[in-house]
A and B are shown apart, each in its own frame.
Chain A
Amino acid sequence: MFSEMFSYAFMVRATIAILLISPLFGMVGTMIVQKRMAYFSDALGHSALTGIAAGVIMGIANTTISMIIFGICFALLLNYISRKGLSSSDTLISVFASCATALGLAILSRGGSFANYSAILVGDILSITMAEIIQLIVLFAVILIFWCFSINRLTAISIHATLAKSRSISVRVMEDAFAVLIALLVMLSIKWVGILLINALLILPAASSRNISENFREYTYLSIIFSIFSGVAGLFVSYFTDMATGPMIVIIASVIYFATYVYGKDR
């Protein structure tokens, strides 16, 4: 049964992609949940539409580039305005996300051609090419290096920003760097996962892990395990049942969340 599955090149590529993306989601997700940035990553996902629209207006043939540039600018702008403290961050993020989504939809639906872009809503991991897998390998390496060098500082900031500042940690630089990292991860994987589900994949494994973890190391490792398990199991089930891969991964990740929630509640 499984040998037949790997006789197809598209399944081999999709499995490699899942094995590259899911640990990243599990890892980065822990900090997103820890720093209560779930809304932030969701807004970034939705802003992908505006990134595409910006690319279309400027005549950029490869809209992934415009998505990444827009995503980074969007993330940094959000951080900048949040720091000003003029309004609560969830309100600000909501306003930005709605505005960006509406702008993207308005531009892309001009002349009734939104159907051209609808594939990005659900994503399609089966059509990933080798060149795109190489992109993901580079992303994997970049995030891993950043993680190894910055995890302690990010954790300190997430626990107490003022205390972190007193220990000579540049809070602003670290927050901006992390926002750029999330933007890169979201924008480079959104084509495979889809706007509608990307946040679920970022949040669910980390949230499940948080339900039962007692320290940060445990939290990170369990999140990565849950993420890889959901990704691989979701891909395999979708292969045999002919259902879309993204939703299947999210369903499995949700089951893990509910199970850990029940276990964690009774601890």
Chain B
Amino acid sequence: MKKNKFLFVLCMLVSISVVLLCSTFFYVKLNKKGTSDDGYLVMTSCNPVYLATVNVVGQVEGVTVQNLSQPTTGCLHDYTLTTEDMKNLSSADVLVVNGGGMEGYLEDVMEAYPNLAIIDTFEAVEHTYPVIIEDEEEEEENHSHGVESEEHHHDTGTNSHIWMSEEIYAGQVKAIADGLGALDSNNAASFTANADAFIDVMDSQLDNQGLDELLAGENVAVLHEAFAYTAQSLGLDVVATMDLDEERQVSAGEVSEFIESINDNNVRIVLAEYDYGHAMGELITEQTDAKVVYLETLVHGDYSGLDYITVLNKNYALIRSAL
């Protein structure tokens, strides 16, 4: 009996190992991605930074740009790295990040890979571009929520969704070109030329459909911090902000205050992200005269090439059609 039991344990563990080995082997075989070990590997932390970097690198030979796995839901700041990300980072030469606390895992990466060069675009633009800083009271409150040494955009008091501002995004593009050029001086001129060319394309193709003149100085409310930059680009005045994501616990007092603010300030438009702002958007439509416009934040999905321009133009068109 006893012998049978240990034989059973042995057979069970061996069987599980065989099943796991076989299924993992086939999974890996089916999902194998061609990664090149040669050349200069530039990793990026999120879609907006990836798009900027791809345009900066352009056709420069020997330089590959790869994005970390992207969260399919939620905001970037609570994303944890996957094993695939960790593998990619260990062979990367440089990591380009948005910064400003957006990448909550950045400290862990810096600890794990002390030799990995990091280009922090937020750091490069925060003093020369109009980065939005939350009001002092809110900032103080958020400071009291600091966790360990983890940096976070709520804790730093700044809104780090800077890519949503065309002007700041151009600054990020320049910062990436400068950063990459400093690390790879042979291609520095190409990076600068590509960055300038991309900024020119942005200037010529981004079309806010006259919204800046049409809405100048008008009050607006946002259900996602990222749209504070959309409002800034169009010259709108943000009178109420509620940053919604999948873990956001909204109190009744907060909702009533938000609705009150919309009514008191004659807000015509509320900018929101569909996934997390939809339920609140319905409530706002029911309780106020404001129209809720659902825009993209460029964080989720697969993007390439000039998609930054396409998405922003689509956002502007949606706002225009809501008027």
Q: Which residues of A contact B75 (CB under 8 A)?
A: 115
Given A122-B80, A212-B9, the answer on whether A115 and B145 have CB atoms closer than 8 Å is no
How does the 8 Å CB contact mask read for A33-66 relative to B, with 1 for contact and 0 for none? 0000000000000000000100011000111100
How does the 8 Å CB contact mask read for A223-267 relative to B, with 1 for contact and 0 for none? 001000100010011111110110000001001100110010001
Contact B83 A126 (CB under 8 A): yes
Q: Which residues of A contact B243 (CB under 8 A)?
A: 112
How does the 8 Å CB contact mask read for A159-199 relative to B, with 1 for contact and 0 for none? 00000000000000000000000000000000000000000
* CB of B161 closer than 8 Å to a CB of A: no
Cα distance A64–B254 in the bound complex, in angstroms: 31
Q: Which residues of B contact A122 (CB under 8 A)?
A: 80
Q: Which residues of A contact B80 (CB under 8 A)?
A: 119, 122, 124, 127
Cα distance A42–B93 in the bound complex, in angstroms: 43
* CB of B283 closer than 8 Å to a CB of A: no
* CB of A98 closer than 8 Å to a CB of B: no
Contact A117 B20 (CB under 8 A): no
Contact of A233 among B2, B17, B78 (CB under 8 A): B17
* CB of A84 closer than 8 Å to a CB of B: no
Cα distance A214–B20 in the bound complex, in angstroms: 29
Cα distance A62–B147 in the bound complex, in angstroms: 8
Given A127-B105, A240-B28, the answer on whether A116 and B152 have CB atoms closer than 8 Å is yes
Cα distance A127–B82 in the bound complex, in angstroms: 10
How does the 8 Å CB contact mask read for B1-40 relative to A, with 1 for contact and 0 for none? 1100100110011001100100010011000000000000
Contact A9 B78 (CB under 8 A): no
* CB of A152 closer than 8 Å to a CB of B: no
Contact A111 B141 (CB under 8 A): yes
Contact A212 B8 (CB under 8 A): yes
The total of chain B residues at the interface (CB under 8 A) is: 52
Q: Which residues of A contact B154 (CB under 8 A)?
A: 111, 113, 116
Cα distance A11–B84 in the bound complex, in angstroms: 11
B199 to chain A, nearest CB (A): 33
Closest residue on chain A to residue B12 by CB atoms: A259
The total of chain A residues at the interface (CB under 8 A) is: 51
Contact B145 A256 (CB under 8 A): no
Cα distance A263–B154 in the bound complex, in angstroms: 53
Q: Which residues of A contact B248 (CB under 8 A)?
A: 112, 114-115
How does the 8 Å CB contact mask read for A108-147 relative to B, with 1 for contact and 0 for none? 1111111111110010101101000000000000000000
Name the interface residues of B131-154: CB closer than 8 Å to any CB of A. Answer: 138, 141-142, 144-150, 152, 154
Cα distance A129–B112 in the bound complex, in angstroms: 7
How does the 8 Å CB contact mask read for B71-87 relative to A, with 1 for contact and 0 for none? 00011011011111011
Cα distance A124–B112 in the bound complex, in angstroms: 14
* CB of B257 closer than 8 Å to a CB of A: no
Given A116-B147, A129-B111, A240-B28, the answer on whether A8 and B86 have CB atoms closer than 8 Å is yes
Closest residue on chain A to residue B81 by CB atoms: A126
* CB of A92 closer than 8 Å to a CB of B: no
Q: Which residues of B contact A61 (CB under 8 A)?
A: 146, 148-149
* CB of B207 closer than 8 Å to a CB of A: no
Cα distance A8–B74 in the bound complex, in angstroms: 29
Closest residue on chain A to residue B19 by CB atoms: A255
Contact A112 B108 (CB under 8 A): no
Cα distance A242–B75 in the bound complex, in angstroms: 20
* CB of A32 closer than 8 Å to a CB of B: no
How does the 8 Å CB contact mask read for B243-260 relative to A, with 1 for contact and 0 for none? 101011110001000000
Cα distance A180–B199 in the bound complex, in angstroms: 60
Closest residue on chain A to residue B154 by CB atoms: A113
Q: Which residues of A contact B78 (CB under 8 A)?
A: 115-116, 118-119
Cα distance A259–B5 in the bound complex, in angstroms: 12
* CB of A222 closer than 8 Å to a CB of B: yes
Closest residue on chain B to residue A191 by CB atoms: B148
Closest residue on chain A to residue B138 by CB atoms: A111
* CB of B90 closer than 8 Å to a CB of A: yes
Extra 4 A-B pairs, beta carbons < 8 Å, given A115-B248, A245-B83 = A112-B249, A127-B108, A236-B24, A241-B27
Q: Can you offer 30 A-B residue contacts whose CB atoms are under 8 A?
A: A8-B90, A10-B112, A11-B83, A56-B144, A56-B145, A61-B146, A63-B147, A64-B148, A109-B249, A111-B142, A113-B154, A114-B247, A115-B245, A115-B248, A116-B78, A116-B145, A116-B154, A117-B147, A119-B78, A119-B104, A122-B80, A126-B81, A127-B81, A127-B112, A129-B111, A237-B20, A241-B24, A245-B83, A255-B16, A263-B12
Complex A-B, nearest 9 residue pairs according to Cβ-Cβ distance, in ascending order: A109-B249, A127-B108, A113-B145, A242-B84, A240-B24, A115-B78, A115-B247, A239-B83, A10-B86
